[in-house]
Amino acid sequence: MASNLTHAQIDIARRRSLGIYYTPKNAASILARWAITRASDRILEPSSGGCTMLEAAAVRLRDLGCRTPSSQLFGFDVDESAFVYLRRLLGSSHARQFHKRDFLTASPKPSSVDVVIANPPFVSYHRMNKNQRDVIGLWREKHKPEFPLNASLWAYFLCHSLSFLKQGGRIAFVLPSAADSADYAHPILTRIASSFDRILLFRIRQQLFIQAGAEERTVVLLAEGHRHNRGMQSTYISRSVATTDELESFLAQSSVEREQNSEQFESVAQALELITKLRETPRMFTLGSIASVKIGEVIGDSQFFSRSSLTWHELGIPTKCLRPIITKTRQAPGLRITRYQTKGLLGSIPGLLVINDSKLVPSVKNLLAKYPKIAKRQNRTFAKRNPWYSVSYDASADAFIGSISHSFPRIIWNSARISCANGLYKIKLHRDAPYRSAITLAALTTPFRLSAEARGRIRGSGFLKLEPSDVLELILPEIDLDAASTRDLFHRVEALVRSGEMESATRLADKVLYVDAGILTASELVALNEAYRKLRGERVPFASLKRKSPI
C-alpha cells in the first residue's frame, strides 16, 4: 500500500479514520478570542490534533497578559502525531498536562477548567471502529445519556467536556452540520441550553475543511455561563453566516447589537415547528406511513460495474450479463423511468454487470482479470462478497429518491421495474397504500420540499443529504383523485418537469393536491413557501431562487 500511495494520501486516510480535520488558524483564533476572557483562564482541548486550537489559546492568553500560557493549557489525544505538534508548540516542560488517551475515558479532576475549546472527531456511529464503540459503550453505561446510541463521536466529546468545566465557564466547539439537524442532536442541544446562560449557534456555509477532503458544512457552538444545576431558561441565538469573517464581525458587535441582529430559533427550528403542525393537519401524513425505504445496490466500484450500454457493447459483454440500473436522478428527466429508456445501445439508463452463471463467458472473465489486485484487496465491499464481483440486484422497488440533491429531492416512479445504485434509495409502497405513482406528484409540492430541507444535512457546495430515516419523515398529502384525473395531472406535471419548468410544476401540484382538495389554503402555502426559501437560502444563494408564489 505504501508503495502506491504518497505520504500525504496515507496521512489523509489515517486522519479520516480517526475523524481528524485540523481547524483553520483563523477559525481557531476567532473561537479563542471569544472563549478566553481572562489571563488566568485554564483551557482544555479534548482532542488536540494539530494543536491549532491550543496555539490560538496561547496567543490569546499572552495578549491578555499571561506570562506563561503553556502552564494553563491541558489536553488529550489518541494520535501520536498530535504530540509531535505539541512538543513543537510547548516543548517538553508541560508534557504532563497532556495525555495520550481517549478523552472519554478520563475523569475530571478537582482543578476544573474555565474554558473548553475543541474540534472533536467527526466520526459517525457506523464508521466507528471496535475500540471507539467499546469506549462509548462504557461511557453510556456510566452516564446514561438522553441521546441515542447512533450519535456521532463529537456528541460524546461535547457532553463529556461539561464535567470538566467550572461554574460560569465557556465552551467553543467546531461541529459537523449534523449538530443542528440530526435527530440525535436535539436532546444534546437541549442539555446544552439547560446548562448555560447563553448559547450561540452559527451555521457556516463556508467549507472549513475542504483542504482536508471533507465537504461537510460546519456549525460553531458557543456557550457561556456554565451552571452545574440544570433547568433554568437560557438565551439561545441561532444564525447562519457565510464565512468565518462574518462570524468574527458578528461576535465583535456589542451585546445589544447582536441581540437586535439575531433571530432566535430561526430557520431550522421554525421549519420544524411548521412541519409538526403539518403532521397534525387532517389528510396529511409521512412517507414512512405508506412505504418502506432502503438503500440501493452497494456496487463497490460503480465506474467498473456500471457503464453505458454502448460501452458494454464495445467491450464485448453480452446483454445477458447486464441489468439496467439508475445511478443518478438526472438519468430520469421526468417523473418516471420507462422501459424505453433501458432499451438499445443509446438508452439513457446504464447497465450493471450482474453475473449469475457459475461459468464466466470469456469477455467477462477477461474484464474481471484486468481489475487491479491491490484495489480489489483494499475494497471493503468486495471483501464481503463471494465471489468479489457478485453484485446484488433487486428490482422490486416502486420508486426511487436521490440521497443527495442540489435543488430538492424528487421521487421517480419505477415503471421499468429496474434497480438503483446506492446513491439513491428504494421506495416500496405498502400493499394498502392509498395511491401509487401519484407520490411523484406529491414529492413536487411545497410541504414535501420544506420537510426535506428541514430534515436534510448540508454537504459540499450546498448539496442536501438525506438518510433513509429522513425520507420516511417527508410529508405527503392525501390524494383523493379518480384514476383519470390522476393520469391527467401526472401527464401535465411531467411535461412541465421535462421542459425544466420545475416551479410551474410545483405551483400546479400545490394547487390541485392542496388548495383544490381543501387541505391547505393558498395563503398557508405561500407562508410555507417563504419558510422553504429562507431555509434553502442558507445552503444556496437567494439569487438562484425565483421568488414566485407557489400557486
* Closest of 301, 361, 345 to residue 327, by C-alpha: 301
pLDDT range class, residue 307, cuts 50, 70, 90: very high
216 plus 177 within the same structural domain: yes
281 plus 192 within the same structural domain: no
Phi/psi of residue 37, each to 5°?
A: -115, -10
Hey, which bits of 335-477 come out as E strands?
336-337, 351-353, 399-402, 404-405, 411-414, 419-420, 424-429, 457-459, 463-465, 475-477
Amino acid found at 213: G
233 plus 283 within the same structural domain: no
User: What are the tens digits of pLDDT across the range 126-179?
Assistant: 889 899 999 999 999 999 999 999 899 999 999 999 999 999 999 999 998 888
| Average pLDDT rounded to a whole number, residues 371-396 | 92
Is 215 within a domain?
yes
Is 382 within a domain?
no
Can you give the CATH number for the domain in which 171 is found? 3.40.50.150
143 plus 273 within the same structural domain: no
Range with the poorest average pLDDT among 20-24, 139-143, 325-329, 393-397: 20-24
pLDDT at 280: 82
Crossing angle (nearest 10°) for helices 502-510 and 483-498: 160
pLDDT at 479: 87
CA distance 163 to 170: 12
pLDDT at 507: 96
Q: Is 50 exceeded by the pLDDT of residue 339?
A: yes
179 plus 136 within the same structural domain: yes
CA distance 368 to 303: 13
Is 1 within a domain?
no
| Average pLDDT rounded to a whole number, residues 533-547 | 60
Count structural domains, the chain. 2
32 plus 126 within the same structural domain: yes
∠ CA 109-114-117, rounded to 5°: 100
CA distance 321 to 351: 9
pLDDT at 543: 35
Is 37 within a domain?
yes
Each residue of 329-353: b (16+ CB within 10 Å) or e? bebbebbbbeeebbeeeebbbbbbb
Q: What percentage of the chain reaches a pLDDT higher than 90?
A: 51
Mean pLDDT of the chain: 84
Is 410 within a domain?
no
Q: Is 60 exceeded by the pLDDT of residue 254?
A: no
Whole-angstrom CA distances from 124 to 17, 325, 462 are 10, 29, 20
Q: Is 50 exceeded by the pLDDT of residue 325?
A: yes
52 plus 183 within the same structural domain: yes
Is pLDDT larger for residue 338 or for residue 250? Answer: 338
**Domain containing residue 496:** 267-290+430-551
40 plus 59 within the same structural domain: yes
∠ CA 387-390-394, rounded to 5°: 150
Q: What number of other Cβ atoms are within 10 A of residue 289's Cβ?
A: 11
Q: Is 80 exceeded by the pLDDT of residue 4?
A: no
User: What are the tens digits of pLDDT across the range 354-380?
Assistant: 987 667 899 999 999 999 999 999 898
CA distance 336 to 265: 38
151 plus 196 within the same structural domain: yes
CA distance 166 to 527: 44
Is 285 within a domain?
yes
